[in-house]
Chain A
Amino acid sequence: MDWDQFDLNPKTIAALKKADIKSVREVLNLSGADLQRLMKLSSADIQCLLRTVSHMLRRNSMLTALQLYQDKDHFTSQHQKLSLGCSVLDNLLKGGIPLVGITELAGESSAGKTQISLQLCLCVQYPYKYGGLESGAVYICTEDVFPSKRLQQLIEQQHKLRADVPAEIIHKIRFGNSIFVERAADLDSFQQCLSRRLSLLLARGMARLVVIDSLAALFRCDFGPAQAALRARYLQSFGAQLHSLSTRFSTPIMCINQVSDAVSESEAAQCSCRVEGSRVTPALGITWSNQLLMRLMVSRASLPGHSPGAASHCAGSVRTLRVVFAPHLPPSFCYYTVQLEGVKGIK
């Protein structure tokens, strides 16, 4: 740490170097009395040091809510979201997936989670005007092989799904080129992938979406009930790393999660899934839920009260996409089907 660049008294700088304090974090971790003893300076000097160091770390960091509201820049604006490629689904999410934060998509098997994430991997490559982010996607598989045949189908049918986009723009995008598939079958390889390859790809701007399919698979085998604390530590560490990547590069992170049965009524209530007749809660518990910005749930069973006419004119069964919690969305749901060209919502 080059202390000379700070706006400090030379006496303080000399004392810092002599006490072998190497980083701003060390300065802030030590208490005032410890700093006085280590550096042999008076408390006024130490206060001055703390203030200067804090200023350096936090200069230009204040924004008013009005500035946030009026920010229209593609990279930083909160209004910019990643569209799902279907106007009905986008309306449910008030624009799409937020750019900063971890979004979870939980549901039973074959409910359509992989379909939605494949669709997102294609949507992210469109220009900003059409709800994309003009960049690629990273798809991390932990259990199944990557469904490349389905991806090819979707690519061929993009013009049918995205009727709002002019055909020449669709033709220009090389969809297959910008989807980076990683395989991480266990915790160590996942950790490697996170810390090395992912940050590299994001730093180079080659990807602006990360899909993890699925996180629960990493924890199912290795951790018994007795190792809950160790599992929690891993989850917190992964969550923090993903969060920091998402914040630094303004990249949405979509985590696919499995569900397990809710053993008791209270457990179902805790995870805020209170659908009649549905007794499943997302896996990985409250430790993982604390890391999330937004949680979506998909299911095959349609909610009671839906009009029987809706199912009749759609090929394939009707599924439900529900917002469980989000800071900007009310709990709501909508129906969708999975068709050849992709996932489409039903009004």
Chain B
Amino acid sequence: MRRAARRVRARAGRGRGQAVRGGAGGRGRQRSPLAGRVRGVSEACPERVRGVSEACPRRVRSVSAACPGRSAPCPGPVRPGGGAAMQREVGTLPLAPALRARLAAAGFQTAQELLDTGPCGLSKEIGISREEALEALQVVRQECQGDAARTAGGSGATRKCTALELLEEEQTQGFIITFCSALDNILGGGVQLTKITEICGAPGVGKTQLCMQLAVDVQIPECFGGVAGEAVFIDTEGSFMVDRVVEIAAACVQHCHLIAEAQQEEDHGKALETFSLENILSHIYYFRCRDYTELLAQVYLLPEFLAEHSKVRLVVIDGIAFPFRHDFEDLSLRTRLLNGLAQQLIILANDHKAAVVLTNQMTTRIGQSQATLVPALGESWGHAATVRLIFHWDNSQRLATLYKSPSQKESTIAYHITSHGFRDVQPPAVTHSTEGTQLNPRKRPRTEEEKQQ
């Protein structure tokens, strides 16, 4: 509850007199006596305080019980509808900055005061045209209604929750598996939803292969351990070869068929009817961005796209470094744009419960005595991603290192890229299934595949 502030202001058109701006008591400003000019006087109020509420018998606008200058205690705070939304400060309303400055200079503090004054009064008091005043009030009204709806619904940016709720939510959240169980293990189950994962590596090490594998794996039905979502693939380098995706998808479908045969459950069969090659391909939404302007525009449009296609659970940007590594004389502009991009992607990942996967290039950093490969785009970009994987070679073996993760420890595993896609180097310990044993729904006894490889 705020103490009522008596705004004292020079009347427009009568020149500046003793214009003393009053503030709320908490700010420590001196409250001037009523001898000064008082704005918006209502005849009904003996204390000549601005703005009246019909409900209050003393006709004092949104005052607290401790309203100064009143001879008798006020019956209580009067909040004519809207509740907390109406008490929103003028500075936070989405109006033009110049308009906000004028309102602050005029002494308006909350949205309620604006609405009570009405367009004519507003236009007279701050010297804007009637149309502008009408527009501004409309914006304020919409904003307050939106606020009220939001606090009632309990969702959105201002939602509060405890860490226990967050933990429960995280534990029920799915992961997008990569079909390489070693990689899934070091990631804690797979690529996590609502987080940004960055994959860095030299050319040819397998970043695009993993992205294509994830775009297929995100569509695995829930009964097989997947998240049954769709994928958005934003390609800046032109390395998305649909023939390769067809190979990966065909292998994935076959894998699921074999699991279904081994386990013979009813929902497996039903899910497999919709999990076909054409279906998988039709749920990968492909965007080709040829320079950084197109990429920025595409990311602005993504929230709308994801709202329309609510089943999307994965957004891949293959080659976030490529459009940003040439053509930038001003590196500070690049840093700002990248930071803005990262912010938008974080909000996107959170709001739509999607995983965002980015691929980055490597660049050489010349140290004192040797040159090392480090991820491109600079140090500040390193903070954008939640999880960072670095792919590299060791002689002929491809290795993946979990370089940055808030919950898993740093470790390195080996992986393999076969004609079926992204796989382990050695198949996990083969357990031939008998009738009694419980099989992991994602694994099946690897017999034929070993021979193939």
Contacts and interface: CB of A to CB of B under 8 A. Distances in A.
B395 A65 contact: no
Interface residues of A, number: 63
A17 to B, nearest CB: 17
B interface residue count range (under 10 / 10 to 19 / 20 to 34 / 35 or more): 35 or more
A269 B202 CA distance: 10
A290 B322 contact: yes
B373 A54 contact: no
Interface of A: 24-25, 28-29, 31, 36-37, 40-45, 50-51, 53-55, 57-58, 61-66, 68-69, 78-79, 94, 98, 100-101, 228, 233, 236-237, 239-240, 243-244, 246-247, 265, 269-272, 274, 285-287, 289-290, 292-293, 295, 324-325, 327-328, 330
B242 A78 contact: yes
Contacts of A237: 326-327
Interface string B214-247: 0100000000000000000100011111111110
B284 A57 contact: no
B395 A269 contact: yes
B282 A292 contact: no
Interface in B68-88: none
B298 interface: yes
A272 B139 contact: no
Given A57-B294, A62-B286, A244-B291, A236 B325 contact: yes
A78 B242 CA distance: 7
A203 to B, nearest CB: 16
Nearest to B215: A65
B139 A42 contact: yes
A50 B326 CA distance: 24
A58 B297 contact: yes
B204 interface: yes
Given A55-B301, A324-B204, A42 B393 contact: no
Given A269-B395, A327-B209, A328-B244, A247 B327 contact: no
Interface string B336-347: 110010000000
Contacts of A44: 94, 139
Nearest to A235: B326
B300 A51 contact: yes
Contacts of B362: 286, 290
A79 B243 CA distance: 8
A68 B363 contact: no
Contacts of A243: 237-238
Interface stretch (B30-38, B95-103, B349-357, B404-412): B95-103
Contacts of B286: 62-65, 68
Interface in B354-406: 361-364, 366, 373, 393-396
6 contacts: A36-B96, A62-B286, A65-B215, A243-B238, A289-B204, A328-B243
Contacts of A290: 203, 321-322, 325, 361-362
A140 B333 CA distance: 35
B203 A286 contact: yes
A54 B291 contact: no
A274 to B, nearest CB: 5
A312 B175 CA distance: 56
Contacts of A62: 285-287, 305
A78 B243 contact: yes
Nearest to B327: A240
